[in-house]
Every structure is written in C-alpha cells, then in structure tokens.
C-alpha cells in the first residue's frame, strides 16, 4: 500500500480516531503504511491545529468525547445492523467492495457516541460468518463496474470462460447480482450482440471506457423472465 499525501493522511487519521474509542500508534501506522515516529508527528500536528486528542500513557490515543459529533444519530439497533453488515461484507470475495465498505463504515462509526462504539466493538468480536472462511478475494472489479453501470460507460474486458476460452469483449453493463459468494455481471456483449452473464472472478482485465451507451429499457426482473423462457435455466449459470 502506498503512503498517502500528508494532508490526506491527517484527515484519515482524524476519521480513524473518531471511529474507535482508543487507538495505538502502531494501529494507525499500519493502517497508513508509515512509521510510528511519523504518526507521533501527525498526532502533534493535529493537536497543534486544535484537535482535542487525549494521550493515554501506554495505551494509545483518543478524542475528547463528543468532539465534532455531527447531528445525525443512530439507534443501538441501527448501529448493530451496520457492524453486522461489515462482518458479512468483509467475507465478500471482491476486494474493491470490501475496501470501500470499510472506508465508508469508518466514517459512519466516527459519528457514533462513545457508549455505542463500546457496544459495536464488543459485538464485532462476537459475530462470525462461515462463508469464505479463508477470506479469499477472487475479484477486484465490483466498484469500477458499479460506477460504469450508473454512468452508462462501455467496458472492455478480457474474459476466461468456464469453457477455458479467452476472449476480449466490449460490453454494456446492465445489472449485478451475487450468488454463492461470487458476483456476476449481466451485460450486453457487443461481440455476441446479446445479453451475457460474466463472473467477476473470470474477468482477467477490465477497462472502463469514456464512450457511453444507451441503457436498456427492460427491468432486471424482465431480464430474468426472458432467461427462464429462452434458456430454461436459472441466470446464475453464466451464459458466456
């Protein structure tokens, strides 16, 4: 992991401090791929900027309770739901999805009260999902595909099919769905001029193009109905 620019790192450290009750210098350093000495300098910079950081001797750093607490509040049940979702998503096989959710949840944790943070940290240690027990990551394209899908960008891919064939495709992303711990992309394949389903873990390279396409008029449910009639098999069996 590359070292972030200092201003970006200082902002991220502040968010990190808000998201947990107590953080060690080592935890912060490992998160940002810098030395512990650098973190001590960063903490001093934040303190000199007026950030009320408490140093707990031999334990780490903490923020004064209530500092910069936004007006948005979560109920205990909502906070529990978020932390449960985090544990589930960390088992997801797409690396980009897991990383972006962790970044998002850190910002959400930053606005929780200290009493809520204590409870969700305890809860996180008591939740375990057996799916993908080795925490294996088999794709890293989900976030790029989501962006292309919502902005109607064409995508170039190199694809290794279940039939052990390598092809290059230009596709129009249509929808995404998850099955058996893997993500599948439904798209119009310009090579075949028809809908195809691509497993993300079989996409070897992916490039989002600046070219745009006209979105399909049918809904995802209508697509599923077409699959039932045309193929007589569920659409989680890749068609490409």
**Residue ranges making up the domain that contains 89:** 76-124
Nearest to 212 by CA among 158, 176, 177, 170: 170
So what's the pLDDT on residue 16?
Answer: 86
Say if residue 3's pLDDT is above 70. no
Is residue 177 very low, low, confident or very high in pLDDT (cuts 50, 70, 90)? confident
Nearest CA to 169 out of 195, 150, 144 is that of 195
Query: What are the pLDDT digits (tens) for 73-96?
Result: 667 787 788 888 888 888 888 999
| CATH code of residue 20 | 1.10.10.10
> Do both 38 and 94 map to the same domain?
no
Per the CB < 8 A criterion, the answer to whether 91 and 48 are in contact is no
| Angle, helices 36-48/6-19, rounded to nearest 10 degrees | 80
Structure-token pair, residue 51: 């950030």
Q: Is 41 found in the same domain as 19?
A: yes
Q: Are residues 83 and 146 in the same domain?
A: no
Burial of 221 (0-12, 13-18, 19+ CB in 10 A): exposed
Let me know if residue 166 belongs to a domain. Answer: yes
Residues 102-137 have pLDDT tens digits of: 888 888 777 777 777 787 777 777 777 777 767 788
Q: For the chain, give the mean pLDDT.
A: 84
DSSP state of 139: B
Number of domains, the chain: 3
Distance between CA atoms of residues 240 and 238, nearest Å: 6
Judged against a pLDDT cut of 70, whether residue 240 lies above it is answered with no
* CATH classification at residue 191: 2.30.30
183-204 tens-digit pLDDT: 899 999 998 899 999 999 999 9
pLDDT at residue 138 greater than cutoff 50: yes
Q: What is the pLDDT of residues 197-223, one digit of tens each?
A: 999 999 999 999 999 999 999 999 999
In a domain, 90, yes or no: yes
Decide if pLDDT at 163 tops 80. yes
Domain contains 28: yes
pTM of the full predicted structure? 0.62
Q: Are residues 166 and 211 in the same domain?
A: yes
Tell which residue, 2, 5, 20, 48, has the closest CA to residue 120: 20
pLDDT for 125: 76
117 belongs to a structural domain: yes
């Amino acid at each position: 992991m590359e070292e972030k620019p200092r201003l970006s790192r200082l902002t991220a450290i502040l968010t990190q401090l808000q998201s947990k009750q107590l953080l060690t210098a080592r935890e912060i350093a490992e998160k940002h791929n810098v030395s512990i000495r650098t973190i001590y300098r960063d903490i001093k910079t934040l303190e000199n900027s007026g950030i009320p950081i408490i140093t707990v001797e031999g334990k780490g750093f903490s923020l004064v309770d209530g500092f910069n607490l936004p007006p948005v509040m979560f109920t205990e049940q909502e906070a529990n739901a978020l932390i449960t979702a985090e544990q589930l998503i960390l088992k997801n096989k797409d690396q980009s999805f897991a990383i972006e959710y962790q970044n998002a949840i850190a910002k959400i944790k930053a606005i929780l009260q200290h009493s809520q943070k204590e409870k969700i940290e305890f809860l996180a240690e008591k939740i375990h999902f057996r799916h993908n027990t080795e925490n294996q990551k088999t794709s890293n394209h989900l976030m790029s595909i989501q962006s292309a899908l919502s902005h109607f960008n064409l995508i170039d891919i190199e694809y290794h099919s279940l039939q052990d064939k390598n092809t290059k495709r230009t596709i129009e992303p249509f929808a995404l769905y998850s099955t058996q711990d893997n993500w599948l992309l439904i798209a119009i394949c310009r090579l075949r001029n028809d809908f195809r389903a691509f497993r993300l873990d079989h996409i070897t390279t992916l490039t989002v193009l600046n070219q745009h396409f006209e979105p399909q008029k049918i809904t995802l449910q209508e697509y599923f109905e077409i699959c039932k009639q045309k193929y007589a098999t569920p659409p989680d069996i890749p068609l490409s």
